Amino acid sequence: MAAQKRIFSTAVPARPLFSVGDVAVLLVLGALIYWGGSLAINAPTIIRGPDINLDPITLPYYALLSTLRMLAAYGLALLFSIGYGYAAARSATAERLLMPVLDILQSIPILSFLPVVLLTLISILPQGAAVEIAAIILIFTSQAWNMTYSFYQAMKTQPRELREAAAVFRFNRWLRFRRVDLPFASLGLIWNSVMSWAGGWFFLMAAEIFRLGNRDFRLPGLGAYLQTAADRGNTTALWTGIGTLILLIVLLDQLVWRPLLAWAERFKVSQVSDDNAAQSWFFNMLRRSTLLERLSERVLRPLGQRLNHALTPHAPAFIESLEPPDAERPRTLLGWLILLLIVGVAAAVVLQAAQLIFTLPLSAWGEIAAGALATFIRVTIAVVIALAWTIPVGVLIGTNPRAAKVLQPIVQILASVPATALFPALLLGLLHLPGGGDIAAVLLMLLGTQWYLLFNIIAGASAIPQDLRYTSDFMRLKGIKRWRTLVLPGLFPYIITGLITSSGGAWNASIVSEYTEFAGQVNKVAGLGAIINQATILDNHALLLASTLTMVFIVIMINRLVWRRLYRVAEDRFRMDQ
């Protein structure tokens, strides 16, 4: 097992922090933001959404609307994650472009680009459709990145024997994807889907109610209900809404996620069966359903066979390479001209945006630098605390089905309850303490980001092959030696994936944790997130752009200097090969 080798035995080849491709991506991204901002100028100056009724009788309807928005965003996120992660993992050339883009997208604060998206859509679409699309886009961005990293990590750490088997059986791209790639990635993808839904609930309040100057965007839904109850200080309605959300989460756990996890047990890479496989009463009931069996035989299976027939040649004349090609194809003259045109247009637009940034006084830049340092310290503390407790708890849930039966619904509920809904109670309990605002900000970051680590660790612990566990038992590996030899090496790729998404999530969460409003009272602490939030409320475009770009730069540098290097270590040294 490659995971038994020491981490420090292999030198990781150095790569440049930034390439020409990174510069091109940043220029194009800046051009798109500036173009969106230009369109946003044409948006109405005064907007008021529908009133939110806090009568409990409206909660089922609001819950249905929010669930449909979440489902639409999740469907887009799932398609994006599989397509994007597969392309990045299977082509070395695509990887050099797509992974920097993913780093940048994951680093952009969600609430920073929401104003641009909203105002741009409103300038070209009817208000109702624009706000709905913007809400789905915001939820999508809270769901997609961790799923994409999970699928990419699975493709890069796939056991070599699986790839060799696909080559021996002469699988084409479609068969390899369906029979090898997707099954191997399914367990991590399902656990990250659970986390994605939790992340979607976390930002649901911001997605369904958003204020920008005199513009008040709102949509009827469970998130708007919770936000309105918090704004009015109506604790009864707040707890009623949270209770409804918890009930919805429990139903999704029992009727969706547990059945999917039980179904995915068949895809574990192991030479022996698992004695304590995940179980689901609802999944067992569906397996005994005669109606579903007939539906599968007469509809689903024929459709699958037709799809396979359409995408699979009768006699494949090639064996796919085990490794992605490293050689770059020579770029044609037309390709160079297109690239130069894109870079030139983007650079011209970015120069105009730079003129806006340079209008800021030096004192504002000093405030941004001090705020970035304060937020960095809070993010570091939150990630360290999360790492300390999620590893033992995640291993317990991932390796002990009895414990998982009790703890899995609990952690899903805790992960899915919007921390912003509980934050007023935290503030009231902590503000009288020395440094209470800072403690509350760290706690809110922790509540919003620790679950990325936990669910990835659960997925990693669940994916450790049963035969390796038997081998460690036979060798009488216990305590620290078992953790060092089996558990931590098996978890390492999943821990790094969780750290990437939780670190980026913590920076995003700083926007709502460092500047909060409850019952008309504003509470804020010094930090980059507070600056972004305040600039959004005051409609200060220069400060918003400068602080957002600062956060993007910091997160990208952390990804490149720390997480990306550890990712390569996971790929090189902790693949589950024999």
Would you give the distance in Å from CA 442 to the centre of its chain? 20
Asked if residue 199 has pLDDT above 50, the reply is yes
Q: Comparing 301 with 312, which gets the higher pLDDT?
A: 301
Burial class (CB in 10 A: 0-12, 13-18, 19+), 270: middle
Q: Tens of pLDDT along 356-366?
A: 777 888 888 89
Asked if residue 543 has pLDDT above 80, the reply is yes
Q: How confident is the model at residue 353 (pLDDT cuts 50, 70, 90)?
A: low
Residue 281 falls inside a structural domain: no
Q: Where are the alpha helices (DSSP H) in 91-181?
A: 92-107, 110-124, 127-156, 160-168, 173-176
| Residue type (1 letter), 244 | T
> pLDDT value at position 176?
84
Q: Tens of pLDDT along 501-536?
A: 888 878 877 877 787 765 556 677 888 888 888 887
SS (H, E, C) 413-429: HHHHCCHHHHHHHHHHH
> pLDDT value at position 421?
60
Q: How confident is the model at residue 311 (pLDDT cuts 50, 70, 90)?
A: low
Residue 536 falls inside a structural domain: yes
Tell me if 537 sits within 8 A of 443, measured CB to CB: no
Tell me how many domains the chain contains: 1
> pLDDT value at position 227?
79
Q: Tens of pLDDT along 90-142?
A: 888 788 778 877 877 777 766 666 666 766 677 677 777 878 888 888 889 88
Residue 275 falls inside a structural domain: no
Q: Tens of pLDDT along 367-381?
A: 999 999 999 999 999
Percent of the chain with pLDDT over 90: 9
Say which residues have a Cβ less than 8 Å from residue 504's Cβ, sequence separation at least 6: 106, 107, 145, 555, 559
> pLDDT value at position 82?
93
Asked if residue 318 has pLDDT above 60, the reply is no
Query: For residue 449, which phi and psi values (nearest 5 degrees)?
Result: -125, -20
> pLDDT value at position 576?
58
* Identity of the highest mean pLDDT range in 57-61, 99-103, 567-571: 57-61
| Residue type (1 letter), 17 | L
- If you average pLDDT over every residue of the chain, what do you get? 75
Q: How far apart are CA 551 and CA 336, in angstroms?
A: 32
Residue 71 falls inside a structural domain: yes
Burial class (CB in 10 A: 0-12, 13-18, 19+), 470: middle
Least confident stretch, 18-27, 251-260, 357-366: 18-27
Residue 171 falls inside a structural domain: yes
What is the value of pTM for the model shown?
A: 0.70
Q: How far apart are CA 167 and CA 57, in angstroms?
A: 58
Asked if residue 316 has pLDDT above 60, the reply is no
The CATH number covering residue 512 comes to 1.10.3720.10
Residue 325 falls inside a structural domain: no
Burial class (CB in 10 A: 0-12, 13-18, 19+), 16: exposed
Residue 328 falls inside a structural domain: no
Q: Where are the alpha helices (DSSP H) in 358-418?
A: 362-399, 401-416
> pLDDT value at position 325?
45
Residue 433 falls inside a structural domain: yes
Q: How far apart are CA 125 and CA 42, in angstroms?
A: 12
Domain span at residue 245 reads 20-270+360-573
Q: Tens of pLDDT along 77-100?
A: 999 999 999 988 888 878 877 887
- Residue closest to 276 by CA, chosen among 392, 191, 404, 400: 400
> pLDDT value at position 264?
81
